[in-house]
Structure 1
Amino acid sequence: MSVDGAALAPSASPAAPPPKPWWNTLFQGLQKMGRSLQLPIAVLPAAGILNRLGQPDVFGADGLGWDGVAKVFAAGGGALLDSSLGLPLLFCIGVAIGMARKADGSTALAAVTGFLAYYAVLHAFPLGCAGGSTYTGAGIWSGVCVDPRGTAVTQAAYQNPGVFGGIVMGLLTAWLWRRFHRVKLVDWLGFFNGRRLVPIIMAFVGLTVGSLAVGVWQPIGDGLTAFSKWLVDAGSWGSGIFGVANRGLLVFGLHQFLNTFVWFQFGTYTEPDGTVVHGDVNRFLAGDPTAGQFTTGFFPIMMFALPAAALAIYHCARPHRRKAVGGLMLSVALTSFVTGVTEPIEYSFLFVAPLLYAVHAVLTGVSMFVSWQLGAKDGFSFSAGLIDYVINWGLATKPWLLIPIGLAFGVVYYTLFRVLITKLNLPTPGREPDDPDDPDDPENSEA
């Protein structure tokens, strides 16, 4: 009862929060998928090292002469970088684990089950054999083309969605796992409840997706090939466009979408043994002398330019904050220089001084343009840091040229960053507004 005897009105229930716009949900999903793609990409340094050690100029005939050892390393690295099985399977598992809530081992098992069924269906329908050769054998491993004389054998061609197919299977696995991993069947089928049910479902999903890919992938693949050809034919301009887009998409966490297809899907190179590889990274590691168009220009930025930007941020910090800022900037600069991991330094100024990041994105494109225009060709298995630079020196073309290019960009970055920070009073680390409670601020000390 109220004070005046009237009945109290029931309190209104709190209003439900408005639903998020569909584009917001989509954007968050894409960001999550971008983070998921980083999981299989993290495997690539091992693949790159194994592949490099298997090259003739390291353990092979032109190096130490240990051909047997070289074959072991080359086989291991080649399996991980195989654009038909290895890489797509890695991306399938990585995306499935990354996109499924509370994923566990059953998620990976379901992904592998679905992918192998999908992969087998693709290989059940060879595209045919060229030059009068005839197809023989069946199954995943034995389908080959034999020439009319029966003296030469080559691998038969198949529809190859590659990494794209692996990502699709990973997404389907994650969605179906989230939907069915707690489902309970009737008692007499209770053994197949929940997590044991999802791999069974994925086997049939793999058959379905493989069958669809056999019929519809050709025009999709032709479209991707046409786009990649346009980008490759653009030469240095294509490199520059990719560089700007790569750094621009990093702001939204979506750069891995672009990287994945350009680095692991676009372009074709046939190795001397007949193995076909796709993507700028794989082609470079396989010895393609024309590869590196979409990787070379990152080396000057990651090894020289961003560390120079970190130095400029340190020099622009307030005197009483330079010690703390110096420790931070030294750490992120070394990370960028040695490993090529640039997010720590980029995020240190992205949100507080977006103008600097815009300048950085444009200059990355310029570096990609200049490096390719001058004839330098280099690549990496993980990122454009010192480790990959040293390991892949023997595969690169004019790798020494990246050092003077990098030093020049280092000067440009340091000068531009310092001028813009001081002239526009940008709040980079160490230049934040004064805190009246900061005991280290000389202005707060007693007279």
Structure 2
Amino acid sequence: MTTASATSTAAPAKKRGSGLFQGLQKVGRSLQLPIAVLPAAGILLRLGQQDVQDKLHLPDKVTAVFATAGGAIFDNLPMLFCLGVAIGFAKKSDGSTALAALVGFLVYSNVLKAFPLTEQHIEGGKIVEATYNNPGVLGGILMGLLSAVLWQRYHRKKLVDWLGFFNGRRLVPIIMAFVGTAMGVFFGLVWEPIGEGISNLGEWITGLGALGAGLFGLINRALIPVGMHQFVNTVSWFQIGDFKNAAGDMVHGDLNRFFAGDPTAGQFMSGFFPIMMFGLPAAALAIAHCARPERRKVVTGMMVSLALTSFVTGVTEPIEFAFMFIAPLLYAIHAVLTAASMAITWALGVHAGFTFSAGFIDYALNWNLATKPWLIIPIGLVFAAIYYTVFRFAIIKFNLPTPGREPEEETEALTKA
């Protein structure tokens, strides 16, 4: 009896891999903190562009201030990712978490310079600076994760009495200085083949053209339900692809290359504009029109609000989560249509980019940096018609329980609550 009782009350065993999966989800969520800084960088950098200066008749010094201010954020993305991930991943993080991450990152990034790929030399009468291994945001993310894990483990650690001054939070930055040294040596020795592998992967995906863009769109949407799409976004937007900007500095990633003036950038961003500005708002309208008459007014108000949010800002999660789990068929259709938009937009030669998301704000702000941005409007209108038609047909045909079509008992419970 006792054995049976103990067995019945025992905690259920965790499924194999569930801890790893939850950890990856947490990393994905922590990436959102540094990414949230990018709109500020994009606006500042845009105000520093020559065409904006000409239109607004800004003095050269004002334009230079905006350009350097925006560049400060883009140039230090690895450090921002390090700090953001450390703060977002550690439980009950505080200022000491960020300090530990900063110490580790500064040491790590400086140690990398002890392993130059090419030495400084003179070429054509000009000094060519030395080049070093650059793990970019991936290195920053790894340093941030190490900082968070070590902070959680040692921020309450007590040392012997004569070292009591270094107890707890004061100990972690010291540990991170040595960890940063070790990681700098490690990446200095092994990053070159890894970096070449990432570059080759980027060249392969880029070489796929429209197919590569579509594949990225499909994977991106497919990973949103489990919160792991930020991994794919981070590698694609901040790591894949190389471009030397006007200052002679090498920049990496689709997003960075777009704002550095690379005319070939935008493969992993352009196709989101038709979906976020037109497709998903049309899907929201279809959901509203399919609601039962007595619920239609309430659902329409909610869906119009979500549609405007998607169109203006490119924030699509509120719409997507409205049908993602209660009608997974619609979400599968949405993922396929996103892939189609990515492929078609790229095939038609549209090169557009964003710092926050593919909404109207980024679309208008970066119009002059884009190639064929006007095509996004007709493409978007076509996808709006497709989304509305397909969603409305699927909802009615398969009686999907989208908002406003819930079973009567659920509606009554919601009303009473």
Shared fold, TM over 0.5: yes
Other-structure match for 1:355: 329
Q: For the pair shown, which has the larger CA radius of gyration, 1 or 2?
A: 1
The answer for unaligned runs of 5 or more in structure 2 is none
2:46 is the counterpart of 1:52: yes
Amino acid paired to 2:69 = G
Deviation at 1:437, TM superposition (A): 7.8
- Confirm or deny: 8 A CA contact 2:34 2:80 kept in the other structure: yes
> For 1:335, which of 309, 327, 332 is the aligned residue?
309
Tell me if structure 2 keeps the 8 A contact 1:95–1:167: yes
- 1:154 and 1:274 in contact (8 A); partners too: no
SS at match of 1:251: helix
SS in 2 for 1:153: strand
Q: Rate the CA distance shift 1:300–1:11 in 2: closer, same or farther, 3 A.
A: closer
Which residue in the other structure is 1:104 paired with?
94
Alignment partners' CA distance in 2, 1:382 and 1:419: 32
Match of 1:141 in 2: none
Q: State the alpha-carbon separation in 1 of the partners of residues 128 and 67 from structure 2.
A: 20
Correspondence 1:93-242 to 2 at 5 A = 93-129=83-119, 135=120, 145-147=121-123, 149=125, 152-242=126-216
**Residue-pair matches, total:** 414
Deviation for aligned residue 1:148: 6.4
Mark the CA change 1:417 to 1:199 in structure 2 (over 3 Å): closer, same or farther: same
Equivalent in the alignment of 1:72:
65
Distance 1:10 1:394, change over 3 A: closer
Which SS does the other structure have where 2:197 is aligned? helix
Aligned residue for 2:243, secondary structure, equals: strand
Residue 50 of structure 2 aligns to a residue in which SS?
A: coil
Matched, 1:42 2:36: yes
Secondary structure, aligned partner of 2:251: strand
Residue 20 (structure 2) pairs with residue 26 (structure 1): yes
Q: TM-score, normalised by structure 1?
A: 0.89
Scaled by the length of structure 2, what TM-score is found?
0.96
Q: In percent, how many aligned pairs have the same letter?
A: 62
Give the Å deviation of 1:436.
Answer: 8.5
Bigger proportion of residues as helix: 2
By how many angstroms is 1:187 displaced? 1.2
Q: Which residue in 1 is equivalent to 2:273?
A: 299
Q: In structure 2, which of residues 11, 31, 37 is the aligned counterpart of residue 17 of structure 1?
A: 11
Q: 1:221 to 1:415 in 2, by over 3 A?
A: same
Hey, what does 1:344 align to over in structure 2? 318
Mapped to 2, the partners of 1:91 and 1:220 lie a distance apart of: 20
| CA distance, structure 2, for counterparts of residue 274 and residue 148 of structure 1 | 15
State the Cα distance separating 1:125 from its structure 2 match.
2.2
Cα 1:196/1:427, change in 2 over 3 Å: same
Matched, 1:378 2:344: no
One-letter code aligned to 1:346: E
Deviation string, structure 1 residues 240-264 (Cα, Å, up to 9, x no partner) = 0100110001111100000001000
- The one of 346, 360, 364 equivalent to 1:390 is 364
Deviation at 1:19, TM superposition (A): 3.1
Q: Cα–Cα, structure 1 residues 237 and 438, in superposed 2: closer, same or farther, change >3 Å?
A: same
| CA displacement, residues 205-248 of structure 1 (integer Å, 9 cap, x when unaligned) | 00000000011111111111111111000001110010011000
* 1:320–1:440 CA contact under 8 A, matched in 2: no
One-letter code aligned to 2:335: A
Residue 373 and residue 439 in structure 1: after superposition, are their counterparts in 2 closer, same or farther (change >3 A)? closer
**Structure 1 residue 66 displacement after superposition:** 2.0
Letter in 1 for 2:28: G
The amino acid of 2:323's aligned partner reads F
